[in-house]
Chain A
Amino acid sequence: MAFFDWKVIVENLPFLMRGLLTTFQLAVIAIGGGFILGVLVGMGRLSGRKYVYYPATVFVNFLRSIPLILVIFWFYFLVPILAGRPLGDFVSASIAFIIFEASYFAEIIRAGIQSIPKGQMQAAYSTGLNYRKTMGYVIIPQALKNMVPSLLTQSVIIFQDTSLAYVIGLKEFLRSATIVDAREVRSLELYTFVGIVYFLICYTMSLLTKRWEAKKGSAK
């Protein structure tokens, strides 16, 4: 047995790439769904109505205080009961990620909206705009600009976190590697390869985030 035999990667590349595709799909769903739910929860956290504020606050504080892996397990068992039938590991993982990540997005969005001076809201109100139009045209466009670095950083973290779905048997990238490893027993090569791929994707995204921040900084 050679010390580093990359043949195992080449031979199993289509299978591994299918896993990587699942990872991407899960990440896109988690980021997209988590962001949309996060906007709603984040605005709920800023609401003056107690029946909106308290549920949103409990949601955020509870989910941010428990490990993601627990949430993944939990929904794996909960979703079939709620749905009345098994929906598969991908669906339950997607739901777990959307809900969990929404709690992190919500805090980014809350902070972003709060970073806009109160006078902007008053100015928009004073011209006769209602709450929805004030948020939509005046506050959120400015807040989003401030939020972009945090949102991108969180997205990179989500991309890495999707590997935790391997515990419920979802054949994402890492799980695919463990399956190949069980057959071929080439742990070092496989996990090194997986590590390099994760690194390349996430580091590239981080660099893009930094470039955005630099561009924003110089524009001011």
Chain B
Amino acid sequence: MIEIVNLSKWFGKFRVLDNINEVIRRSQVVVVCGPSGSGKSTLCKCLNGLEEFQEGDVIIDGISLKSPTTDLIKLRQRIGMVFQRFELYPHMSALENITLAPMKVKKLARGEAEKKSMALLERVGIPEQAKKYPGNLSGGQQQRVAIARALAMEPEIMLFDEPTSALDPEMIKEVLDVMIDLAKSGMTMIVVTHEMGFAKEVADEIIFMDQGRIIERATDKNFFANPQTERAKEFLNKILI
């Protein structure tokens, strides 16, 4: 359902993405890893048009992101995204963060939007935090609210851009548990992360990126034990310590 075709992107003269090709099918979970600056986050943001690209294309269910007639606003309603730094709206309660898009985009009535949002907060395990503001929540709780916010638009695809790398170690598990649940429920997911436990448990494919290129991909769970490229070996040695 997601086709990435010869995708290339430059920041000025610097080539951040270099001819990326990838096909992601419905209900697949793809983990993207690699050193910082390898283009993982940029790739993630190209998939919902938050970043523009200069060459190639991303095709989602037959809709080309490159095409000038594509309504990006509408397409984004089908693609949820979770950010490294949560990006909750600080002036709204957890519940209001979740109900905003359903009410303003899908035009749901407040009552209905709140009912659905409470159900999502139950699903991520923090219904009791509904009335709190992001500033009064822990990092793990904030990220779980952010996941609920993305799910509120009932997306078919979820993008995760390093969802646990801004978290204290003791909070990583609570967020990963929610993501594992989501993966097992059949959500199509693209996850930029170095969490190998997560990758081992739910990833259908692991992509290793370096300098804007996909240099290794693995569909079996042996990637972490037996990387094929020197670059991936080197990288894994560093993060495994």
Contacts and interface: CB of A to CB of B under 8 A. Distances in A.
**Are both chains from one complex?**
yes
A137 B100 contact: yes
Given A119-B85, A137-B104, A130 B73 contact: yes
Interface in B165-195: none
B105 A129 contact: yes
B90 A142 contact: yes
A123 interface: yes
B85 A126 contact: no
A185 to B, nearest CB: 57
A201 to B, nearest CB: 31
Interface stretch (B7-15, B76-84, B115-123, B210-218): B76-84
Interface string A108-150: 0000000001011011111111100100011001100100000
Interface residues of A, number: 18
B45 interface: yes
21 contacts: A117-B87, A122-B81, A123-B87, A123-B88, A123-B89, A124-B89, A125-B50, A125-B73, A126-B50, A127-B76, A127-B77, A127-B153, A128-B73, A128-B105, A129-B100, A129-B104, A129-B105, A133-B105, A141-B91, A142-B89, A142-B90
Interface in B146-160: 146, 149-150, 152-153, 159
A117 to B, nearest CB: 8
B35 to A, nearest CB: 22
A120 B87 contact: yes
B74 interface: yes
A127 B101 contact: yes
